[in-house]
Amino acid sequence: MNLGVLTRPACIAVIAMATMIARAPALGAQSFPASGEGIISAMHERYADSWYRTLTFTQKTTRRTPADTMTVETWKEAIMIPGRLRIDVEHATPARTYIFNGDSLFVVRGDSVTRSARRNVLLVIGFDVYRQSVDKTVADLRGLHVSMTPVHADTWEGREVYVIGAARGDVHSPQLWIDRDRLLFVRALQPDAQDSTKTDEYRFDNYTLLPNGWLSERVLMFVGGKLTQKEEYSNAQMNVRLDAKMFKPPA
């Protein structure tokens, strides 16, 4: 991600946030959460007063095709927290836009609009969790078949994590992996919708601390251990003014 040279106020904001994170310990070993609600609550409490409300960025999207080749697209994305995400695919013919709004996904292709009931789990646990109530986040996750129990401790990429929704050794049931120190989402697993014997995996990698919060600059998606999509973010802007109308489909 290239944000250019930070201004002095922006640098101060980064330092202030880093200080806040250092002073706010993760849930200690003696108070290990009995359920996912405690982890969700800690995530919300850590960043509720500082997390950005809007985000825009350019995304380089590398996708695996049905022919098992890789294709690259450029997506322009905008997020309004909580619950709204718009993706415009550059140079698509016909024009193609995806809009997540709450529990709905609208796909706009040219003059055609289709709607399906679908909530974006990565939007919920990667962004919404910091700007909506704990009860709402827990309800959204349960609606996505993520159980709040069991929880256990594990490690991921050399860091300690909480795992919500699965017992130790279970890497197939719907589950969320949360960095214990930074209280950031890093990994999700769930059975594949097309072939339940396979596991879908989502990773938020390469977190960078920016003036108004953290951003994972790389997102990876796998099916059955095979990489199916890689997302690389650039030109990120936080707390920019967005019109809520852009998250509604054309009439």
Domains of the chain, earliest start first: 8-247 (2.50.20.10)
Element (H, E) at 46: helix 36-47
How many C-beta atoms lie closer than 10 Å to residue 94's C-beta?
9
The percent of residues above 90 in pLDDT, for the chain, comes to: 84
Cβ atoms within 10 Å, residue 111: 8
Nearest to 55 by CA among 214, 232, 219: 214
Span between the terminal Cα atoms of the chain, in Å: 35
* Per-chain mean pLDDT for the chain: 90
Phi and psi angles of residue 84, each rounded to the nearest 5 degrees, phi first: -125, 130
pLDDT string in tens for the chain (251-residue length): 332 333 334 443 443 444 444 444 455 445 789 999 999 999 999 999 999 999 999 999 999 999 999 999 999 999 999 999 999 999 999 999 999 999 999 999 999 999 999 999 999 999 999 999 999 999 999 999 999 999 999 999 999 999 999 999 999 999 999 999 999 999 999 999 999 999 999 999 999 998 888 999 999 999 999 999 999 999 999 999 999 999 999 87
User: Using one digit for the tens of pLDDT, what is the confidence trace for 128-186?
Assistant: 999 999 999 999 999 999 999 999 999 999 999 999 999 999 999 999 999 999 999 99
> What pLDDT is recorded for position 212?
84
Q: Give Cα 91 distance to the centre of its chain.
A: 25
**pLDDT computed for residue 26 by the predictor:** 52
Do the Cβ atoms of 19 and 12 come closer than 8 Å? no
Quick one: pLDDT at residue 6?
Answer: 33
pLDDT of residue 130: 97
Closest CA to 204 of 159, 239, 147, 237: 159
Predicted confidence at residue 7, as pLDDT, reads: 36
The residue type of 31 is S
**CB-CB contact of 87 with 101 (8 Å):** no
Q: How far apart are CA 97 and CA 73, in angstroms?
A: 13
